[in-house]
Structure 1
Amino acid sequence: MSLGIKEIEAILPHRHPFLLIDRIDELEPGMRAVGVKAVTFHEEFFAGHFPGEPVMPGVLILEALAQVGAVAILSVEENKGKTAFFGGVDNVRFRRKVVPGDVLTLTCEIIRTRGNVGVGTALASVNGERAVTAEMTFVIS
C-alpha cells in the first residue's frame, strides 16, 4: 500500500513547513511504513543551519522518521483520527550527513505496542547507506 501527500495529510496533523515526508511507498498498518523525503536546497532550515555547508538538522531527520512511524501506528482502524506524539528516542546514531539533493528513505518498524504506547525501530538512509538509526516511543492520544 502506498500513500500520496493528501492521504498522509488525512492521517497526520502536520502541515508545511513541518510535514517532512513526501510519500509513503510501503505500509503495513500497525506494523511498518517506508516513506520518502526529497531534500532540496530550498528547505527553510538550510538558510541558518551551516550556511556554508548545508546539512539537514538531525532532529528534523528524527522528526521525519517519527512521522513515518506515526503513519504506521495511526493507520490501524482503532487509531484513526488520533494523534501519535513522541514519547522518547533512544539509541540514536548519526552515521552520515544529509545534504541538499539527497533522497531520504525513512523506515519505521513497530516492534511492540501496549495500550496507547508503541515502540519502533527507525532507519533513515540515502542510496542504501545508513544516515540515522534510532528507537522511538510513540504515545497515542
Structure 2
Amino acid sequence: MKNKQFKGETLENKDIIDLLPYSEPFLFVDELEKVSENGISGTYTFQQDEFFYKGHFKDNPVTPGVILTECMAQIGVVCLGIFLLKDTEPENCSVALSNSTIDYYLPVLPGEKVKVVSEKVYFRFNKLKCNVKMFNAEEKLVCKGEISGMIKANE
C-alpha cells in the first residue's frame, strides 16, 4: 500500500487484509470482524469453484484439512500479527508458520462460510502463538488447535 503510513496509527480491518502477503487463489480471508491486542475473528467463504475441489475428493468435494489450517493461520495468526505490529511498519514484515496442532471434527463443503476465532497465547521475541477455532455457519466447531508463527522484518 503505497503512500500509507501505519506507524503509530490504528489499522483498519481492511488495511490488515490489504497487507496480507497472499493473493487469489491462495487468499482465505474475506472479512475481519473483531481485532484486539488479545485476539481476532474473521470469515471466509469457500467458493464452489475453488481449485482444490477438483481432486479432493472425486465426485464428493471436501475442503482439505491443510486448507482449513491455512485459513485459520491467515486469519488467526498473520492478520493478528500485522495488527500487533501496527507500531512498526507491518508492510515490511513477513510471517512464517513454525508449528500447528489441529484437530478436525466436521467437513467444510464447497459454498460454506466459516468463522475463525483466535486468542493470543503470547507474542514475544517475534513469535506469536494462538489458540484458534473454526466454526461453520451453524456455529458448530469444525476444527481447533494451536498455531504459532515467527514474524520477521524484511531487509
Q: Could you tell me the TM-score, scaled by structure 2's length?
A: 0.82
| Per-residue Cα deviation, 1:12-37 (whole angstroms, up to 9, x for no partner) | 11011111111111111x42111111
- 1:138 maps to a residue whose letter is G
Length, aligned pairs only? 137
**Mind listing any 5+ residue stretches in structure 1 that lack a counterpart?**
none
Shift of residue 60, structure 1, vs aligned partner: 0.6
Q: Which residue of 2 aligns with 1:95?
A: 105
Q: Could you tell me the TM-score, scaled by structure 1's length?
A: 0.89
- 2:57 maps to a residue whose letter is F
Residue 18 (1) aligns with residue 29 (2)? no
Structure 2 SS opposite 1:60 = helix
For the Cα contact (< 8 Å) 1:98–1:131, is it kept in 2?
A: yes
Q: Which residue of 1 aligns with 2:131?
A: 121
Q: Which residue of 1 aligns with 2:61?
A: 54
- 2:135 maps to a residue whose letter is S
Q: Percent identity?
A: 21
Structure 2 SS opposite 1:139 = strand
Q: Which residue of 1 aligns with 2:4?
A: none
Structure 1 SS opposite 2:13 = coil
For the Cα contact (< 8 Å) 2:17–2:79, is it kept in 1?
A: no
- Rounded to whole Å, the distance in 2 between the matches of 1:46 and 1:18 is 13
Instruction: Name which one, 1 or 2, has greater alpha-carbon Rg.
Output: 2
Structure 2 SS opposite 1:83 = strand
For the Cα contact (< 8 Å) 2:16–2:83, is it kept in 1?
A: no
- Rounded to whole Å, the distance in 1 between the matches of 2:19 and 2:111 is 27
RMSD: 1.6
**Mind listing any 5+ residue stretches in structure 2 that lack a counterpart?**
1-10
Q: Which residue of 2 aligns with 1:139?
A: 150
Task: Give 2:78's match in structure 1, choosing from 52, 67, 70.
Answer: 70
Residue 112 (1) aligns with residue 112 (2)? no
Task: Give 1:41's match in structure 2, choosing from 39, 48, 52.
Answer: 48
- Rounded to whole Å, the distance in 2 between the matches of 1:79 and 1:140 is 12
- Rounded to whole Å, the distance in 2 between the matches of 1:45 and 1:14 is 17
For the Cα contact (< 8 Å) 1:39–1:100, is it kept in 2?
A: yes
Moved more, 36-45 or 74-83: 74-83
